[in-house]
Amino acid sequence: MKVIVLECIYTLGTSTPVFCCFKIVKTTLRILVMSPEPMSSQKVMRYYLRPEILEKLFSLSAGREVVPVYAARGFGSRPSIVQFPGDLEHMIRRGATSFHCSIEHWKNPLVLANQLKKQEMNALRSGWDLVFDIDSKKDLYVGQITADLVVRALNEHGISTVSVKFSGRRGFHIGVRMECMPKNINNITIAASYPDVLQKVAHYIKQYMRKPLLEEIVRYDKNLETELKGDPYEAVELEENWSNRHLFRMPYSFNEKTWLVSVPVDPEKIRDFKAEFAQPERVSGKLGFLETFEEDSAETLVANALEYRDEKPAEKKKGHEKVAAHLLDGHGVVQIVKKKATNSEMHRSYSRLTAEELENEMASFKKTDFSSTRIGKRVPEEFFPPCIKKGMAGLEDGRKRFMFILINFLKSSGWVMNEIDEKITEFNKNNPEPVDESYVRGQVSYASKRAESFPPPNCAAAGYYNDLKICEPDNICAKIKNPLGYAFFMGMKPKKKKKASRKPIKRSAQKKKPSGP
């Protein structure tokens, strides 16, 4: 049955709803605003002063900026903090209608100022939470589809402690606590990597789920297919331009545009959520937001996001152009081998390539004819470098990091997904304490969906081979910068040609001419 959904917005101080949008949907009635009248200041105060609501607001306040919004004068002054529950109560009694807090955690928020330099901000910052801000341009259910897919994408990257909350209007906030993030990235603390890493992770997730999101939105509303023109983000926004001192609406805070509560949602029940669940009288205060975590569980997500490159149209290459091994050295260049070089030259005839061309070069490698070398199109285990062989024997620490290394190494070495799956399973069985099977399945699933291949981290990359205690270099390791280069170096040694054994030629005995008479 088709029904018409009227989205209406109440503004504080008026009892007249403004009908701003008419939308036809397919099955159930989803009304954005359920409140029949504007929220009175007394009702707002009664809601916020409920002990369970005060407790939830206060529990998220430590080490953050917490800024109230007042009905008459907008945002309160900054910096602003909450040290005691009484601070919140004071703001509420002064007319606060909503509360917003910083994504970033600070050692002392009160010394923050706009004129601080980047180095000073980094010194004050103790960490930051990973937050995805989703805002549907259509109706609430488009936001629900998007939020559900973000949670699934995070799960597939090994993150199980994901928080979700309704924004109070047409969107959702997805959160991952800072303790899930890696402590350092290329010798830079995670605290100092904000907002760059958060922006890259948000961009990566947008691209990771672009295709399934488009398919689900079009399946939900066929009328949107022409309008979207292949881009799901014409129907929904997923924020990626996070900035310093960025605020987001706190859980259990009102949204003044709708007077619905920004209520936490069970990640497993996002698509079952209805706007009326966020009416203040129906909010229980039981669910939390950013309360649980598993340390370092976002390592793979961050690593994949930092390696991700947007797809670019492949340039046409001549047969003699650069192709083979990709030895990313961590400084924006890739070392590759000339295709037309002779076998003896392949060890030394290297040229340098910008990192932006890596994707095209990886595609070229798959088409390269290695028939004159020993490598073929699939690197055999006998050519694996010492670090890969040692890691595959099992590890006590860093198992997830090595799994990331191994998947990238195998995929870049021409192994197909069923072979990679078998090797990952074999590696996990060799571990004294195997990685949780759901995490393993998630990593294999992600690798199978990703069309492009990336090399594993470089030999000198911080946090990998040396830290995992698997770096035991041999005489070849000095010649390469990446484990993938080891395999190519070994494989490009010319095949030994067997000397054809010469068999003695049997000469038939010459017939003697008969002598004359």
Burial class (CB in 10 A: 0-12, 13-18, 19+), 454: buried
Higher pLDDT, 278 or 445: 278
Please, what is the Cα angle at 297 between 332 and 425, to 5 degrees? 90
Contact 141, 30 (CB under 8 A): yes
CA distances from 254 to 88, 100, 302 (A): 14, 10, 32
- In this prediction, residue 8 has a pLDDT band, given cuts at 50, 70 and 90, of very low
Which pair of tokens denotes residue 183? 């402590």
pLDDT tens digits, one per residue of 149-198: 999 999 988 899 999 999 999 999 999 999 999 988 877 899 999 999 99
Instruction: Determine if the peptide bond prior to 79 is cis (ω within 30°).
Output: yes
- In this prediction, residue 507 has a pLDDT band, given cuts at 50, 70 and 90, of low
Query: Cβ atoms within 10 A of the Cβ of 73, count?
Result: 9
Pairing of strands 327-328, 125-128: unpaired
Which pLDDT score, from 0 to 100, does residue 321 have? Answer: 31
CA distances from 332 to 276, 301, 480, 485 (A): 51, 21, 16, 16
Which pLDDT score, from 0 to 100, does residue 187 have? Answer: 79
| Residue 316 in this model has a pLDDT that exceeds 50 | no
Tracing tokens 């992770």 back to the chain, one arrives at: 201
- In this prediction, residue 344 has a pLDDT band, given cuts at 50, 70 and 90, of very low
CA distances from 236 to 142, 154, 210, 428, 445 (A): 7, 19, 11, 39, 26
- The pTM score is 0.65
What letters, b where the CB count within 10 A reaches 16 and e where it falls short, cover 285-322? bebebbeebbebbbbbbbbbbebbeeeeeeeeeeeeeb
Sequence-ordered list of residues with C-beta below 8 angstroms from that of 431, at least 6 positions apart, any chain: 394, 395, 396, 399
Most confident of 233-237, 374-378, 409-413: 233-237
Sequence-ordered list of residues with C-beta below 8 angstroms from that of 509, at least 6 positions apart, any chain: none
- In this prediction, residue 514 has a pLDDT band, given cuts at 50, 70 and 90, of low
225-234 contact pairs (CB < 8 A, 24+): 233/206, 234/137
Query: Cβ atoms within 10 A of the Cβ of 348, count?
Result: 9
- If you average pLDDT over residues 291-301, what whole number do you get? 90
What are 3's strand-pairing partners?
25
44-50 contact pairs (CB < 8 A, 24+): 44/92, 44/97, 44/254, 45/92, 45/93, 47/254, 47/261, 47/280, 47/283, 48/88, 48/92, 48/96, 49/89, 49/92, 50/285
pLDDT tens digits, one per residue of 350-372: 233 344 444 454 444 444 444 44
Contact 176, 247 (CB under 8 A): no
Alpha-carbon distance of 10 to 373, in angstroms, equals 72
Contact 128, 105 (CB under 8 A): yes
| Residue 22 in this model has a pLDDT that exceeds 60 | no
| Residue 486 in this model has a pLDDT that exceeds 50 | yes
What residue type is 334 in one-letter code?
Answer: V
Residue from 457, 331, 434, 435 nearest 385 by CA:
457
- In this prediction, residue 502 has a pLDDT band, given cuts at 50, 70 and 90, of low
Most confident of 111-125, 432-446, 475-489: 111-125
The sheet carrying 130-136 orders its strands as 163-166, 171-176, 130-136, 236-238
Alpha-carbon distance of 152 to 160, in angstroms, equals 9
- In this prediction, residue 480 has a pLDDT band, given cuts at 50, 70 and 90, of confident
Which pLDDT score, from 0 to 100, does residue 345 have? Answer: 35
Write out the H or E segment, with its range, that includes residue 402: helix 399-412
